[in-house]
Structure 1
Amino acid sequence: MNRTRTSIVDIARAAGVSKSTVSLVLQGSPLVNEKTREKVNALISDLGYVYNRGAANLRQAKSKIVGIVVNDLTNSFFAELAVGMDMVVQSAGYVQFLAHSGESVDRQREVIASMRENGIAGLILSPARGTQANDIKPLADSGIPVVVVVRNLPGAKVSTLLSDNYAGAKAAVRHLIGLGHRRIAFMGGFLDTAVFADRVRGYRDALTEAGIPPNGDFIIHSAPSRAGGVAVVERMMVFAERPTAGLCFNDAVAFGVCDGLRANNIEPGKGFGVIGFDDVIEAKTAVPALTTVSVDPQGMGQRAAQLLLKQINAGQIDQESIVTSVRLVVRQSCGTPVKQPEEMA
């Protein structure tokens, strides 16, 4: 045999195992039993591992790439989330392979397949709408650590990192009730996501606890975007009895709601109370400054990356389910108590 052409295929043939098994041995994967590992390593030595330098380099490259797939990079929440991940990934000596699914399960499948071909050491995924547990089963089966963030993926045997959507929504609505509001809307978001369901549940429960019957017409869904927020206001304006305040699905919707209110000569924070969800960087500098439920997207991204690297370094997949706490950050957009005279700014 020409030793300069020794390859993984040669080693697999000599060992009587598959090429993928040899690859797993080279990666130090715990999925290979000890007897097979010893046999493959012995043959690698006999055939001259030094001449398989390309495979060694490829293995090293694989171990230093982390895949990150998010569902909507046009939303600054996900951009900040990715920045947080990148901070941890880079400091640990890894390279971030970032992709945007645009809420397409097909696109998500394609980018994950591409990442696998490029040898990712692990994956952080914020799933596109409609993602099923089986969509990431091949990754888990192959021993690649996966951390699912933001949206839950029931049935997937992977680690998850979510924010406390229920508690955040409940705190926001309680605050609006405390300001004297009784007609409170829930504005924006896709109906078919668990995040929407959790936040609406918190919204409903806060109203019910205050003795305010939830009004189904006041739950106005739309795309979770700035344009979606504008659309929500247009639908709200035709109501015979309009809400006086609203909890928005996220900050992007809240910014759009503010735009839509102004287009109808209603000043956010004065003529209508607005609360967002996320606390993106722009929330603090918006006019009026946006009251919002702070999820700390960069911090969440950092925690997701730390959770993934922990599994990569351990060489095994230990499922962890983490729900991060949130807090209401009160600024100007929710206004002052509605029963008090408005003060001049």
Structure 2
Amino acid sequence: MSKGRVTVIDIAHAAGVSKSTVSLVLQGSSLVNEATRAKVNAVIRDLGYVYNRSAANLRQAKSKIIGIVVNDLTNSFFAELAVGVDVVVQSAGYVQFLSNTGENIDRQREVVASMREHGISGLIVSPARGTEAGDLKPLVNSGIPVVVVVRNIPGAKVSSLVSDNHAGSAAAVEHLVSLGHRRIAFLGGFPDTAVFAERIDGYRQAMQRAGLDADGDLVVGSAPSRAGGVAAIERAMLIATRPTAALCFNDAVAFGVCDGLRTLKLEPGRDFAVVGFDDVIEAQTAVPALTTVSVDPQGMGRRAAQLLLKQINAGKVEAETLVSSVRLVVRQSCGAGLGDVGRRITA
């Protein structure tokens, strides 16, 4: 422990918690459970710490910092999203603080609390699974502008920017049907997320319009990752009447599906059609090049940053909901000809 004045770091070490958790306790936040609060307060009493609220308020004064919190930085979609944000905020004289939650709600609360301590001027967040409106309430109450991207949070009084997931899935299925496929699977994604619900709904409606069965066996959930894609295609190929094509939850899953197919001695684009969702940079250079629904992650990052700066400059928070159009980019992984081109989809 440091000599002289007791610090928040000293308390965190003694209590076995993070600095951000100690800060939440000092601020009287409802985000800390009672057992942790009691433990931290006991250490505060034992060490004789005095909370300098005026200094804390000075630290929390607005800075030229924009926070960006994403749920899975191992997915290149979010790296590209962050690049788009950075281009806009840098040109406006702001610095970006980036953090990854890895789908952990507690980690998300800690990093958001830490960003508040640094006096962020605004926050862009792709929320972790299970995030509720109440998790953003401290930010809303303090007047810090928030833009939620990719995943919406029902009831949260913040701006949101999402893609047209329903239309994107429907267009992908329609394209696969036009190529002659009748057994089309939907692979990957966590079923308890809004994005999954929207994409699976577009898939099912398009299948029904084509007079095709979208039974439960054809929908295989998994982690929205490359490893998840491998697991999903392995399960899908055990179905009695195998699928011949798949719409994947995202490009990461699609790459994993291609890996899994090759393990089974099947070639993507020739023996099995694969369509992704996102259009990350790697989709263009993959072998075969990945057919995918383009969300334009860098463009989404730029638009989210512009929306946030608009609120910061206005000095007030007025929640807006924006839905970005998407387009199907046809490449080789679905077995289509080289002459096919992408087409824009409107709601």
Residue 317 in 1 paired to residue 320 in 2? no
What amino acid sits opposite 1:154 in the alignment? P
Q: TM-score, normalised by structure 1?
A: 0.80
Measured on the aligned residues, the alpha-carbon RMSD in Å equals 1.5
Give the structure 2 partner of residue 242 of structure 1. Answer: 242
C-alpha distance in structure 2 between counterparts of 1:109 and 1:89, whole Å: 23
> How far is the alpha carbon of 1:213 from its aligned partner?
2.3
Query: Any stretches of 5+ residues in structure 2 without a counterpart?
Result: 1-54, 338-347
C-alpha distance in structure 2 between counterparts of 1:239 and 1:115, whole Å: 48
> How far is the alpha carbon of 1:304 from its aligned partner?
0.2
What amino acid sits opposite 1:197 in the alignment? A
C-alpha distance in structure 1 between counterparts of 2:208 and 2:234, whole Å: 27
Give the structure 2 partner of residue 288 of structure 1. Answer: 288
Matches within 5 A, 1:324-339: 324-336=324-336
State the secondary structure of the residue aligned to 1:152: coil
C-alpha distance in structure 1 between counterparts of 2:236 and 2:56, whole Å: 61
> How far is the alpha carbon of 1:236 from its aligned partner?
1.6
Give the structure 1 partner of residue 181 of structure 2. Answer: 181
Confirm or deny: 8 A CA contact 2:65 2:121 kept in the other structure. yes
Residue 306 in 1 paired to residue 306 in 2? yes
Residue by residue over 1:288-323, the C-alpha shift from the partner in whole angstroms, topping out at 9 and shown as x without a partner, is 000000000000000000000000011000110000
Confirm or deny: 8 A CA contact 2:204 2:214 kept in the other structure. yes
Query: Structure 1's 137 and 55: CA in aligned 2 closer, same or farther, altered over 3 A?
Result: closer
Residue 156 in 1 paired to residue 156 in 2? yes
Query: Structure 1's 104 and 319: CA in aligned 2 closer, same or farther, altered over 3 A?
Result: same
> How far is the alpha carbon of 1:136 from its aligned partner?
0.5
State the secondary structure of the residue aligned to 1:136: helix
What amino acid sits opposite 1:101 in the alignment? T
State the secondary structure of the residue aligned to 2:300: helix
C-alpha distance in structure 1 between counterparts of 2:326 and 2:270, whole Å: 26
What amino acid sits opposite 2:120 in the alignment? I
Give the structure 2 partner of residue 232 of structure 1. Answer: 232
Give the structure 2 partner of residue 205 of structure 1. Answer: 205
Confirm or deny: 8 A CA contact 2:291 2:334 kept in the other structure. yes
What amino acid sits opposite 1:274 in the alignment? V
C-alpha distance in structure 1 between counterparts of 2:312 and 2:135, whole Å: 21
Give the structure 2 partner of residue 84 of structure 1. Answer: 84
Give the structure 1 partner of residue 172 of structure 2. Answer: 172
C-alpha distance in structure 2 between counterparts of 1:302 and 1:283, whole Å: 20
C-alpha distance in structure 2 between counterparts of 1:83 and 1:336, whole Å: 31
What amino acid sits opposite 1:185 in the alignment? A
State the secondary structure of the residue aligned to 1:171: helix
Residue by residue over 1:63-93, the C-alpha shift from the partner in whole angstroms, topping out at 9 and shown as x without a partner, is 3001110000000000100110011011100
C-alpha distance in structure 2 between counterparts of 1:59 and 1:154, whole Å: 28
Give the structure 2 partner of residue 94 of structure 1. Answer: 94
C-alpha distance in structure 2 between counterparts of 1:207 and 1:56, whole Å: 56
Confirm or deny: 8 A CA contact 2:59 2:117 kept in the other structure. no
> How far is the alpha carbon of 1:58 from its aligned partner?
5.8
> How far is the alpha carbon of 1:212 from its aligned partner?
0.9
C-alpha distance in structure 1 between counterparts of 2:213 and 2:260, whole Å: 26
C-alpha distance in structure 2 between counterparts of 1:232 and 1:180, whole Å: 23
State the secondary structure of the residue aligned to 1:151: coil
* Greater radius of gyration (CA): 1
> How far is the alpha carbon of 1:234 from its aligned partner?
1.1
> How far is the alpha carbon of 1:164 from its aligned partner?
0.2
Give the structure 2 partner of residue 109 of structure 1. Answer: 109
Residue by residue over 1:229-248, the C-alpha shift from the partner in whole angstroms, topping out at 9 and shown as x without a partner, is 00011112221110000000
Give the structure 1 partner of residue 260 of structure 2. Answer: 260
